[in-house]
Every structure is written in C-alpha cells, then in structure tokens.
C-alpha cells in the first residue's frame, strides 16, 4: 500500500468540455487551502478540442497533472481509476468539468476528515439536476459574478435535486441505510486507501450512469462511514444533457448493478423505483428491506498495481 501525503487529490475526468473545465480550474485557483496540500489530476477521455491547452494554461498556478487516453467510447470509470492510481494525497475529491467550487471547498473537506472518522463525504451542487437541464438562463448569467456564493437567497432557488429529500432528514445520513444511492461524483470525496481497498471503479461501465453509486455500494459494504458535507459549497454550471441516451444507459447499468450485488435495494432500482423511493422506505428503524437476496462475489477492477 502506498504512503499518501496529508491533503487532497482532486480528480476530474473530462471529454470535449474545455470551457467548462476552465471554469472548474479557475475556481480551484481561488481555494483557501494551501497549494502544497492539494493537486489537480485531469484525465482526458480522448478529447478532440483544446482541453490539453486549457490544462497547460493553469500549470503556473496549480499543481496539475494531465493524462490522456484514446477515445474508445465512454470510459469515465477507467479515467477516474487512472486518477486514483496517480493520486499522491490521502484523500480524493471527485469533481466534474463545470463544477465551480467555493473558495473554502477543499479546506472544508480536509477539515472534516481530520476531525472525524468519516470515510466518504457527499457534497451537493447548486443547480444540479439528475437527468436534464431546466431553464437556468438567469442562474447561468449570475455565475459570472464573483460573489455568487455569498448570495444564499439566490442560490436557494437552485438547490441540488437531492436537497429537498435531505432537508427532510435534517441533512443527516444517520437514519439512511443506503447512502451510496446519492454518492454522485459531480462533488464527492473519499479516503484514498478505501478506494484501493474497494478496487476502484468498475470498468465494465462504458455508458452513462451508475459507476459512481456502484463504487459507493462497495465502499458501504466495506464499512466506510458516509456523511454529507453541506459546508463545502459548489455550483454545477448548466449544460445540455441527452435525455434519451441517459435513460437508456442508466437502465442497462442498473440491471448490471443488480446482477452484480443482488441486494434488496438494487432489486428495487431494477424494478424502477427512484433513489428517493428507496431511501424513504429503507431508513432506520424500519429495517424490513435490509439485506441481500443472495451473495454474489464481485471482483475489484482497479489496476493490479494496488
């Protein structure tokens, strides 16, 4: 096992979204965390735009690494595994291209790990929707302003799609048995050694959806403690999504997840229940849904270098 340094490795997979990536990197330039305590790892999934040049333009202000893999289809799971294998810090923060981090975001993640025994932190993103983009023209316009994070009244209008459910639980995961269902890598962090122990992302996933929650399910099965981190704020810059493709690939990937894990929760996902429905029914002290239908061993997929 590696010896990791105190700090955070920020892993950002990207594909032909250089301008969104620029926004994310600009926000990381403004972090209050000491520059020696974090690094940025960009893994390019075969972009044909100016992504490489955009990354290079930040090399004087950020500790930044760039890895390129050939465009052989959707390989974000492998991209993130490349990032994990090259991380030098003891915590990993996953962000998506176009996620704008508030200046204290990284510091908030690191502080929470230092003060508790948490293994996984789930962050939220203002403006984030699961499958589609609403009319966020006004929101997009305001993102150009420097003080967007100080205007809480404005941001409140554009809550993460998970926020309403989580507010009903006082933004606590204490009563939630299946927190892995809301571990989405637009903004989430984890102890690096836990990612190694879990085997990293399953590289079977070669279409949109599910690779993040499937990893989180394995982390949960390993006993990692999940918590929300509402103090670490981030904004998801609006961009179009292809709704037909996302629904289709998500359905196929959910079937794969259930065949791999065969738990009650994955069965309910396959039957078409939403994460909200499952989390509502599957909370303590109601434990009737807890358990596995039958055991099916899954193999880790991160490089054998682990």
- 182-213 pLDDT tens trace: 999 999 999 999 999 999 999 998 877 899 99
> 292 forms bridges with which residues in the sheet?
263
d(CA 253, CA 197): 23
Write down the H helix ranges in 126-162. 137-142, 152-155
Show the domain range for 223: 5-241
How do residues 101-117 score in pLDDT, each as one tens digit? 999 999 999 999 999 99
Q: Is residue 79 part of a domain?
A: yes
Q: What is the CATH number of the domain that holds 97?
A: 3.90.550.10
Residue 118: helix, strand or coil by DSSP? coil
Angle at which helices 76-85 and 211-221 cross, to 10°: 50
Contact status, residue 249 vs residue 207, Cβ threshold 8 Å: yes
Q: Is residue 73 part of a domain?
A: yes
Contact status, residue 4 vs residue 193, Cβ threshold 8 Å: yes
Give the model's pLDDT for residue 129: 79
d(CA 226, CA 284): 15
Give the model's pLDDT for residue 287: 46
% helix, strand, coil for the chain, step of 5: 40, 15, 45
Q: Is residue 223 part of a domain?
A: yes
Contact status, residue 274 vs residue 246, Cβ threshold 8 Å: no
Give the model's pLDDT for residue 229: 98
Contact status, residue 47 vs residue 16, Cβ threshold 8 Å: yes
Give the model's pLDDT for residue 127: 87
Q: Is residue 262 part of a domain?
A: no
Q: What is the DSSP letter of 41?
A: E
10-residue mean pLDDT profile of the chain (306 residues): values are 91 96 96 98 96 98 96 87 98 96 97 97 88 60 73 86 93 94 97 97 87 97 97 87 62 92 94 92 56 44 42
Give the model's pLDDT for residue 285: 52
Q: Is residue 278 part of a domain?
A: no
Give the model's pLDDT for residue 148: 81
Q: Is residue 70 part of a domain?
A: yes
Give the model's pLDDT for residue 218: 98
Signed CA dihedral, 13, 19, 22, 27: sign only: negative
Q: How many residues are listed for the chain in this entry?
A: 306
Closest to 94 (Cα-Cα) out of 70, 67, 122? 122
Give the model's pLDDT for residue 247: 61
Give the model's pLDDT for residue 2: 77
Give the model's pLDDT for residue 179: 96
Q: Is residue 270 part of a domain?
A: no
Give the model's pLDDT for residue 124: 96
Give how many domains the chain has, as a whole number: 1
Q: Is residue 77 part of a domain?
A: yes
d(CA 306, CA 296): 23
């Amino acid at each position: 096992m590696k010896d990791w340094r105190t700090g955070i490795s920020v892993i950002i997979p990207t594909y032909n979204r250089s301008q969104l990536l620029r926004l994310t990197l600009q926000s990381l330039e403004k972090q209050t965390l000491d520059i020696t305590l974090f690094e940025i790892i960009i893994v390019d999934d075969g972009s044909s735009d100016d992504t490489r040049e955009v990354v290079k333009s930040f090399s004087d202000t950020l500790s930044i690494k760039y890895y390129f893999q050939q465009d052989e289809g959707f390989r974000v799971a492998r991209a993130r595994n490349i990032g994990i294998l090259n991380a030098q810090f003891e915590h990993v923060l996953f962000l998506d291209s176009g996620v704008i981090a508030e200046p204290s975001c990284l510091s908030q993640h690191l502080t929470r790990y230092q003060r508790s025994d948490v293994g996984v932190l789930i962050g939220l993103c203002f403006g984030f929707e699961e499958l589609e983009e609403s009319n966020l023209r006004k929101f997009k316009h305001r993102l150009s302003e420097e003080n967007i994070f100080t205007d809480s009244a404005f941001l409140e209008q554009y809550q993460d799609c998970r926020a309403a459910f989580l507010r009903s639980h006082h933004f606590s995961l204490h009563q939630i048995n299946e927190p892995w269902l809301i571990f989405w890598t637009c903004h989430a962090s984890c102890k690096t050694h836990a990612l190694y122990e879990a085997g990293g992302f399953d590289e079977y996933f070669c279409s949109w959806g599910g690779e993040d929650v499937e990893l989180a399910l394995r982390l949960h099965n390993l006993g990692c403690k999940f918590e929300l981190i509402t103090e670490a704020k981030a904004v998801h810059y609006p961009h179009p999504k292809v709704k037909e493709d996302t629904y289709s690939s998500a359905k196929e990937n959910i079937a794969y997840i259930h065949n791999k894990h065969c738990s009650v929760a994955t069965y309910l996902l396959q039957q078409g229940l939403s994460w909200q429905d499952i989390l509502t029914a599957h909370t303590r002290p109601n434990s009737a849904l807890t358990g596995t239908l039958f055991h099916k061993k899954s193999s880790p997929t991160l490089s054998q270098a682990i």
